Homo-oligomer: A and B are copies of this chain.
Amino acid sequence: MDTSVKNVIVEKAKTSKIDQVDFNNLSFGSIVTDHMMVCDYKDGAWETPKVVPYQPITLDPSSKIFHYGQSVFEGMKAYKDTDNNVWLFRPLENQKRLNISSKRLAIPEIPEAYFMEGLKALLKVDQQWIPQTEGSSLYIRPFVFATGKGFHASPANEYKFIIACAPSGPYFSGKVKVLIEEKYSRSANGGVGFAKAGGNYAGQFYPTQLAVAKGYNQVIWTDDNSHEYIEEAGAMNIFIRINDTLITSPTSDRILDGITRKSLIELAKDEGINVEVRKITVKEVVEASKNGTLMEMFGAGTAAVISPISAFGFQEKDYELPELDKSYAALLKKRITDIQYNRAEDKFGWRYKL
């Protein structure tokens, strides 16, 4: 397979929808840009990426995406600084993880050049769509799914890799109240929990609906065997601060290797914060809350960046988190977004200029 991309084919949209968009009132992921990148896998190889007008996809009803869940995705953002320069944040980490997810789902991996050149060509064509308003960015959604036909339960022989973009405001507003889950689970040992696989998300919706009905915003996932260990917060990684120590669960085959997660770990260490990457029990968190040493809990992910937790529920009881003047969540969010928006030095080399 030729893994270099000489020319991404670009077919521009005849008209733009950009004038219809209020960039000062963006929701998350509901408005799409004028174009998308499409790359098809046929006859054992990925074809040359194309940038085309954003348009519907036509598929046979027997396409395996409708039956056997072969789908993976990534979440990224493009940021515009005050000089109109456009930046990505650690994009090669997304490219690598997409392939890690794909491999586990028996989806053919995508050469780095196809991912990066396709992405760059798309962002060049749609650069006017990258918001400059505070806290806003262009959300980028690379995704791959099985288009091959047939009702036999086996991997497809054809796939589609698409990158679509949505100018977006902040993901969540305000602090969230979470429920520590003791019945439902997100993933199995030896399963696909570490992958950004579609099925991982569908399985979370129902338990989350039950939590919402009880007055919570999100579920804190625990291990499926004992429900004693805290693993993820909704669709995000989780950080817990006890006294001045910041703790997060180690990645595993059940836990996503989040790019925001690992960046926050480095930034916290850079701030001189004591960081522990280790298993953390529900019991420890409840005890810390009772004895007043539980200072913060927050989710971390590309979409929301950092999502502070105001309270958690466990076994029919709610535990409030304190209000802090100087929280790690606020400090780390400022550090990471200052790098992302090119407002501060990037000593780690995470920014990627377009």
A contacts, CB < 8 Å to B: 28-30, 32, 36, 54-62, 65-71, 73, 103-106, 139, 141, 143, 145, 149-155, 162, 164, 166, 181, 183-192, 197-206, 209, 224-225, 227, 235, 303
Contact = CB atoms under 8 A, between A and B. Distances in A.
Contact of A191 (B28, B36, B224): B224
B151 A166 contact: yes
Contacts of A66: 57, 65, 71, 73, 143, 145, 162, 198
Given A106-B205, A185-B190, A205-B106, A56 B67 contact: no
A126 to B, nearest CB: 14
Given A105-B205, A184-B191, A199-B203, 5 more contacts: A59-B59, A67-B143, A139-B151, A192-B202, A224-B225
A13 to B, nearest CB: 14
16 contacts: A29-B62, A29-B152, A30-B149, A30-B150, A30-B152, A32-B61, A56-B58, A67-B201, A70-B205, A105-B202, A188-B189, A188-B224, A189-B225, A198-B198, A198-B202, A225-B225
Number of copies: 2
B65 A65 contact: yes
Contacts of A56: 58-61
B70 A202 contact: yes
Contacts of A203: 69, 104-105, 191-192, 197, 199
A254 to B, nearest CB: 8
Contacts of A151: 28-30, 139, 141, 164, 166
Nearest to A28: B152
A155 B201 CA distance: 9
A59 B57 contact: yes
A61 B73 contact: no
A201 B58 contact: no
A155 B212 CA distance: 13
